[in-house]
Amino acid sequence: MAQPRTGHRAAFAALLLGAAWPGIAHAQDAATPAPAPSANEGDIIVTATKRAENLQRVPLAIQAIGEERLDQLQVSDFADYVQFLPSVTFQTAAPGFAKIYFRGVASGENANHSASLPTVGIYLDEQPITTIQGALDIHVYDVARVEALAGPQGTLYGASSQSGTIRIITNRPDPDRFEGGANGEINTFSGGSVGYTLESFLNIPLASNVALRAVGYYVQDGGYIDNLANFRTYPTSGIIQSNRALARSNYNDVETVGGRLALGVDLDDRWTVTGSLIGQITEADGSFAQQRGLGRLNTEQYNPEGGRDEWFQAALTVEGRIGNWDLTYAGAYLKRKVDGESDYSDYAYFYDSLFGYGAYYQDNAGNLVSPNQYIQFTDRYTKQSHEIRLASPQENRLRAIVGFFYQRQTHNIEQNYIIDNIADVITVTGTDSNIWLTKQLRIDRDYALFGEVTFDITERLKVLGGLRVYRYDNSLEGFFGYAAAFGSTGERACFGPPQLEGTPCTNVDKSTKDTDFIHKLNLTYEFSDAALAYFTWSKGFRPGGINRRGTLPPYGADELTNFEVGWKTSWLDRRLRFNGAVYHQKWDNIQLSFLGANGLTEIRNAGNARINGVEFDIGWQQNGLTVSAGGSYNDAEITEDFCRIANPLGSVKLNKEKVSRENFNTRRDADQPRWQPEARCAGYCVAAGRLTPAEGPVIPPAAASAR
């Protein structure tokens, strides 16, 4: 199982430069025009509802970590801040590809390129930055706050916010002051190597109404996984393979460099334009998984592993007033490229040991070659999003927000599975030595009209109703598989000439689309200015998509319905905060992903489940001292057999208790003590029953890999 990079990170030495210019102050951070400042030091202003509001007055299960606390907790990346959000858990196999979950909503996603979209949406300021295979791992510096919205956010957020939303709000350019700062850090992992961080920001007023804010950072994370030297003998050919040239200690080090520029222009007292450009490059060496049977934080890899992840995003936000209504436009364009290589020799070794596959790998002269297999891949992503919305005056008894959202994201996929020196007849046409090629283009399009109306029934009681009408239109085209002489999956299944450059022909060209709606209903009662309770009935969804195997139909959207009762209270002159929620979630038509024939990922709408849970957040703040605690508990249960879908004949009978133990595993990330139930289908059939934790963390075998 992958070990999160910060899981064993400990401060070895700290060098805090603390360089700041006179007059340093925090810039205004809201994504909408600023409200009046709070009189209490513990108050946090959030914009989760697309309006600036006090955190304690927002009737949502929302947690926020402000800039001062982010600095005190030494938060620098995603894995750092998520451990302070009790309702959030995550898994990661490498930097930049974390899988995030709210409230236990996880169906065993393997993050394959043609699988389901994430269930959690990530936003940078006003723009969504969730890519098809996961979230960008943004370095957290000069950030005003991080907001975590638990539960379906349907009306205002929509696709990929099925179970929750995380918003990273950066500090905005401030024309009223010149300020800057710099930080440095030296650190190490327990049993690992040394790393360090250098980061700096500068806010420069260019005119009375124009300011530029610049951020730069360099991070070197030390490694903590040891690649042990060993050798193996492939049974069929007797060929010996050694990894001594690749063996070394702490071989999974990571280097990250990035920066952000933001230009803010106040056109007048009613209109503001903010443009930003952010970019980051991450280079990672080695593997981030420990191998079973080799001891803690050890592995044996026989081929080079690592990758380079580079991306940039250009964004534009326009805020203004039309009459007494607030108008906001938020648009962005994201481009990302990931190049890498991965060891696939375990797969080759076990298939040779179990089935004698080594006999099939020969050169042009008929001699057996080493079955050693490795992957070289390039993933190219683009994402553009546009949202425009209008909000009526917040002080009105009847107020509304209406808007339109459009998003288009692409994933150009290239994965080369290589066995050196194989015969031309079993090499995928047009490649040097590919035993398998995946070269596909995936396009996901989302459209939505949304609106919310809030009415104050009395001074203390208010009701909110919201609706989001959405449409998705997703497609997948290209090639995947073997050469015609080697297997039925691949060139033999082609039905047309190549549509993508670099493919021998086309064997997948599919699309799926649908239109539907989700809703939100909220009833809030304020007992006083320091206490409120609310009831929410909301829905979230995840768009359907394509099964690339030609014999399988597309999978449809799955929906999460949330029934929630929550409370927010402040005590002792608002120095003490106690918030919480109790919820019941119904998950219908779950998109279950698993490995089918030939190791191909299949996604089925495989059944229903329910999750009951409770979460709380307690905080005390006075005279610069902050003490906080939080927790969550989820009880998840499958309520409808998956067998009816995965095995249409329905002829398999299972012992429910045995299936619960063997097919549902509880995973625990190394850096968090909370247990996260995650459904993993080990075969084709799962019966209804309680999700029972396995004995300890489960490490999937290296050979269980999806193409």
User: Can you say whether the dihedral through the CA atoms of 84, 87, 92, 96 is positive or negative?
Assistant: negative
For 674, how many CA atoms within 13 A lie in the half-sphere containing its CB?
A: 23
Q: Contact, 367 vs 237, CB < 8 A?
A: no
Q: Please name the residues in contact with 111: beta carbons below 8 A apart, sequence gap of 6 or more.
A: 93, 97, 99, 133, 134
pLDDT-derived band at 643, boundaries 50, 70, 90:
low
The alpha carbon torsion through 698, 699, 704, 707 (nearest 10 deg) reads 100
The predicted pLDDT at position 218 comes to: 97
Give the whole-angstrom CA distance, residue 83 versus residue 672: 6
| Partners of 398 in the β-ladder | 455
Sheet holding 127-128, edge to edge: 62-66, 143-150, 164-170, 120-124, 127-128
Farthest-apart Cα atoms in the chain, separation: 87
Query: What's the full length of the chain, in residues?
Result: 707
* Of residues 84 and 285, more confidently modeled: 285
- pLDDT (tens digit per residue) in 559-582: 999 999 999 999 999 899 999 999
User: Can you say whether the dihedral through the CA atoms of 7, 11, 12, 16 is positive or negative?
Assistant: positive
Q: Contact, 519 vs 505, CB < 8 A?
A: no
Buried/exposed 337-357: b ≥16 CB within 10 Å, e otherwise: bbbbbbbbbbbbbebbbeeeb
* Of residues 407 and 627, more confidently modeled: 407
Q: Which amino acid is at 593?
A: S
Q: Contact, 348 vs 301, CB < 8 A?
A: no
What radius of gyration, in Å, describes the C-alpha atoms of the chain? 26
The predicted pLDDT at position 33 comes to: 41
pLDDT-derived band at 372, boundaries 50, 70, 90:
very high
Selection from 5-19, 142-156, 573-587 with the highest mean pLDDT: 573-587
Does residue 343 have a pLDDT over 80? yes
* Of residues 28 and 60, more confidently modeled: 60
Give the whole-angstrom CA distance, residue 260 versus residue 255: 17
Pairing between strand 164-170 and 120-124?
A: parallel
- pLDDT (tens digit per residue) in 191-233: 889 999 999 999 999 999 999 999 999 999 999 999 999 999 9
Does residue 584 have a pLDDT over 90? yes
Give the whole-angstrom CA distance, residue 311 versus residue 283: 12
Report the share of the chain in percent with pLDDT over 70.
83
Does residue 509 have a pLDDT over 80? yes
Residue 130, token pair as written in the block:
């969730």
The predicted pLDDT at position 42 comes to: 57
User: Can you say whether the dihedral through the CA atoms of 693, 698, 703, 707 is positive or negative?
Assistant: positive
Q: Contact, 154 vs 585, CB < 8 A?
A: no
Does residue 685 have a pLDDT over 80? no
Buried/exposed 169-208: b ≥16 CB within 10 Å, e otherwise: bbbbbbbeeebebebbbebbbeebbebbbbbbbbbbbeee
Residue 281, token pair as written in the block:
């490059």
pLDDT-derived band at 642, boundaries 50, 70, 90:
low
The three-class DSSP label of residue 106 is coil
pLDDT-derived band at 625, boundaries 50, 70, 90:
confident
Give the whole-angstrom CA distance, residue 626 versus residue 620: 6
- pLDDT (tens digit per residue) in 163-194: 999 999 999 999 999 999 999 999 887 788 99
Give the whole-angstrom CA distance, residue 144 versus residue 187: 24
Q: Contact, 618 vs 578, CB < 8 A?
A: yes
The three-class DSSP label of residue 349 is helix
What's the mean per-residue pLDDT of the chain?
83
* Of residues 677 and 483, more confidently modeled: 483
In order of their start, the domains of the chain are 9-24+32-304+314-690 (2.40.170.20)
Give the whole-angstrom CA distance, residue 423 versus residue 272: 63
